[in-house]
Amino acid sequence: MTPTPAAHPGRSPIRISPLHHPHHRPRRGFLYTGTGVWTVRIVTFVALIVVWQLYASGVSRALFAAPSAILESIIELTITEATLWGAIATSMGALFAGFGLAIVVGVFIGLLMGRFRPLELVLDPYVSFLYALPTIALIPLLVIWFGIDTQLRLALVFLAGVFPVIINTMAGVKNVDGELLDVGRVTCASERQMVTTIVLPAALPFIFAGIRVALSQALVGVIVAEMTAIITGLGGMIIRFANFFQTANLFVPILAIMAVSVSLTTLLKWLERRLMPWDHRHLEEEGA
Same domain assignment for residues 184 and 233: yes
- What digits encode the pLDDT tens for the residues 62-84? 678 888 888 999 999 999 888 99
What per-residue confidence (pLDDT) applies to 2? 47
User: The CATH number of the domain where 227 resides is what?
Assistant: 1.10.3720.10
Model confidence at 31: pLDDT above 80: no
Distance in angstroms (rounded) separating the CA atoms of residues 37 and 263: 20
In a domain, residue 24? The reply is: no
User: Residue 104: which residues within 8 A CB-CB, separation 6 or more?
Assistant: none
Same domain assignment for residues 149 and 40: no
Q: Smallest Cα–Cα separation from 253: which of 223, 278, 221? A: 223
Model confidence at 203: pLDDT above 60: yes
- The DSSP letter of residue 18 is G
Model confidence at 283: pLDDT above 60: no
In a domain, residue 69? The reply is: no
Same domain assignment for residues 99 and 231: yes
Total structural domains in the chain? 2
Model confidence at 158: pLDDT above 80: yes
Distance in angstroms (rounded) separating the CA atoms of residues 210 and 88: 24
pLDDT (average), residues 242-248: 88
Same domain assignment for residues 81 and 54: no
What per-residue confidence (pLDDT) applies to 30? 64
Model confidence at 147: pLDDT above 70: yes
What per-residue confidence (pLDDT) applies to 165? 95
Model confidence at 237: pLDDT above 80: yes
- What digits encode the pLDDT tens for the residues 265-281? 999 988 888 887 766 55
The letter for the amino acid at 63 is: L
In a domain, residue 244? The reply is: yes
What per-residue confidence (pLDDT) applies to 29? 66
Same domain assignment for residues 187 and 222: yes
Q: What angle do CA 88, 85, 222 make, to 5 degrees?
A: 10
Same domain assignment for residues 41 and 145: no
Average pLDDT of the residues of the chain: 82
In a domain, residue 241? The reply is: yes
Same domain assignment for residues 41 and 132: no
pLDDT (average), residues 10-30: 53
Same domain assignment for residues 44 and 133: no
Taking 3-state DSSP, the helix, strand and coil percentages for the chain, each rounded to the nearest 5, stand at 75, 0, 25
- The confidence band for 169, taking pLDDT boundaries of 50, 70 and 90, is very high
What per-residue confidence (pLDDT) applies to 1? 47
Residue 14, phi then psi, degrees to nearest 5:
-85, 130
pTM, entire model: 0.77
Residue 34 belongs to domain spanning: 29-58
In a domain, residue 114? The reply is: yes
- Which is more confident, 89 or 150? 89
Residue 225, phi then psi, degrees to nearest 5:
-60, -40
pLDDT (average), residues 244-256: 91
In a domain, residue 122? The reply is: yes
Percent of the chain with pLDDT over 70: 82
Distance in angstroms (rounded) separating the CA atoms of residues 93 and 78: 19
Distance in angstroms (rounded) separating the CA atoms of residues 143 and 278: 45
Same domain assignment for residues 54 and 132: no
Same domain assignment for residues 147 and 205: yes
Same domain assignment for residues 118 and 49: no
Same domain assignment for residues 119 and 34: no
